[in-house]
Structure 1
């Protein structure tokens, strides 16, 4: 079959169909020239679980699309009758293109937890992973089980981006002297992981290498760890925190000052504030904001319907003041797509006329799985 369209245009069309697997499969049968591009989307992400691990390992010895697999979505249940297949390193090491590993572990038995998960050679099969997403779920019966999660992170020497999505309170981070991956600089942490991760990086002298940090609302016992870690000047470029961490001391009850002194983060250029609980405290927190002069982007991830009666005129005047943030170029309102997008977009632009006229006001709409 003769194709008259330029190769660049064909590639653009196939890229547009990236999530349409039915169409991609049909395109891969049109001609040989379309196969590689179609496969790059069809096999970019593979899912691996106890119920398909046997067939997956067998397939790895004969398939021709291994170099197209760049992301692995992994689910492991410990213990499981097929769990020993995850130690088939000869097969899994053929996945040399894996850069993103999304791993969910469900632990139901403490007696074999370390032997069947953390002590196997499975993790060493992916030395080129740069992005790790981890969720650890534990059965209630485990009763505060210590697990070597920090040592697990060190099994990925090329790791740059660590995303701890969820940690069961029954899983506790055991202490370690392991050195963090040298290139680790992006952190997204969840409740129960803030204290152990920050304390570990601080003790290893690695916290100064972190460029981007996203924190959840923390438990009372996690605050001292975070305070100790952030008591000195860091090289953060992007900080994503709940708005409540900027509230006055009266809101804290257990601290003499707000958690974040942003004046210490001299290179901070992006600040993302998340909140949907305290709309009345927004202005009080912002007026106390001692942001560095390099701040270029200020983003708000808010539940807009909860802010209908907010002091929008005061916020508009505050942010539009050129002397407040001299390098501010973008004020972004982030919203998940569970409301009518045009309606909310029009609302933001109507209540912030000064920012709108300055050209720095933007809106960003995310799907729920992107938040």
Structure 2
């Protein structure tokens, strides 16, 4: 008696429940049944990570194989890490591969680029990067060196559908503080999430503000101290559109609490702010600006506040004006969660958590959850 035939939709759900990193299982599915091939290939080729010349050579060979189904159609997440390479020839694989990658991978929506130096690109390669990935909605750029910030703006502008941007530790030959932005270069209109880390950001924020891009979620981690005023102005200009804001004290000025002065920020304009995350606060100075910063918030939608504090002793935490913090936050009827993370020895972590919890009685009485992260 023949076995009942299951609809292909059921098999697709079963195959989709497999471990996404178990490529052997998906390859086996391709060999078992012809109808399983499309869904199996989707999981095999959905994410491609290329980080060496030998690896990219094999992948390019499979892309242009005329006897095979175009596997490039399945790729939606592409991660490219050029690195330093063992030789100048190997170092240039990224530039040589770009024209083929841009033509054969039309459905990439998530693109990550690490450690590139556009100075080494020939014109066709740079053009391929600017014009070949038009479906990208999420773009990440790490540890790259550009001639000028204008090149970065051109690259960002080349993804018209982009809604999420992350940039980290970009270097420039020209001084980014002297950039005059080109009004003809326009940011992606749908850009809503911005994450900038360990770099000079005023040129980028000025560009986004100039074109009235309404960022919904902004994260700034370990940026240069000189950028704090620009970040404050940027947040103010966003007004009600800003819902999530994450900040951190500049690492280079950790002993000068005034660099995080509250006057840099005017959060009263962010009337729909839902969450505020303050990272890497150094408690050595008692965080004198903290209550001033929190008192600026006028949003009736604030649900979550998170503090990540650097303190090697509980005594340092005692210098923080917790009674003012407790009073200010307890005035928000919408507050649901207040989170704390302490960067200290694990032997002191529990004592720190107990101490801080005793300092926020009003929040506890209001029913807010007090959470602690390791």
**TM-score under structure 1 normalisation?**
0.74
Residues 176-255 of structure 1 correspond to what in structure 2 (within 5 A)? Answer: 176-177=182-183, 178-206=185-213, 209-232=214-237, 234=239, 235-242=241-248, 251-252=257-258
Deviations 1:111-155 (CA, angstroms, capped at 9, x unpaired): x5574754x2233111010000002434xxx9x756511011111
Q: 1:302 to 1:27 in 2, by over 3 A?
A: farther
Where does residue 360 of structure 1 map in the other structure?
369
Q: Secondary structure at the match of 2:136?
A: coil
Corresponding position of 2:131: 124
Distance 1:121 1:106, change over 3 A: closer
Instruction: Answer whether contact 2:98 2:125 (CA < 8 A) is retained.
Output: no
The structure that is helix-richer by fraction is 2
Q: Which residue in 2 is equivalent to 1:45?
A: 47
Q: Is the 8 A contact 1:69 1:97 kept in 2?
A: yes
Q: Secondary structure at the match of 1:258?
A: helix
Q: CA deviation at 1:85?
A: 2.9
1:38 to partner: Cα distance: 4.4
Higher mean C-alpha displacement, 256-265 vs 5-14 = 5-14
Change (3 A) 1:233 1:183: closer
Q: Specify the alignment match of 1:153 in structure 2.
A: 156
**Alignment counterpart, residue 299 of structure 1, candidates 306, 313, 322:** 306
Single out whichever of 55-64 and 13-22 deviates more from structure 2: 13-22
What is the count of residue pairs matched by the alignment? 349
- What's the counterpart of residue 105 of structure 1? 115
Whole-Å Cα distance in 2 between the matches of residues 307 and 20 of structure 1? Answer: 46
Which among 103, 115, 119 is matched to residue 93 of structure 1?
103
Tell me, in whole angstroms, the C-alpha distance in 2 between the residues paired with 1:10 and 1:272. 40
Shift of 1:346: 9.9
Secondary structure of the equivalent of 2:80?
A: strand
Give the unaligned 5+ runs of structure 1: 366-371
1:146, 1:281 → 2: CA distance? 37
Counterpart-to-counterpart distance in 1, 2:320 and 2:202: 38
Query: Structure 2: 5+ residue runs without aligned partners?
Result: none
Distance in 2 (CA, whole Å) between partners of 1:53 and 1:22 is 20
Counterparts in 2 of 1:168-183, with a 5 A limit? 168=171, 170=173, 172=175, 175-177=181-183, 178-183=185-190
Q: Residues 236 and 267 of structure 2 are in contact (CA less than 8 Å); yes or no, is this contact kept in structure 1?
A: no
CA distance in 2 between counterparts of 1:308 and 1:15 reads 50
Give, in angstroms, the shift of residue 288 of structure 1: 4.7
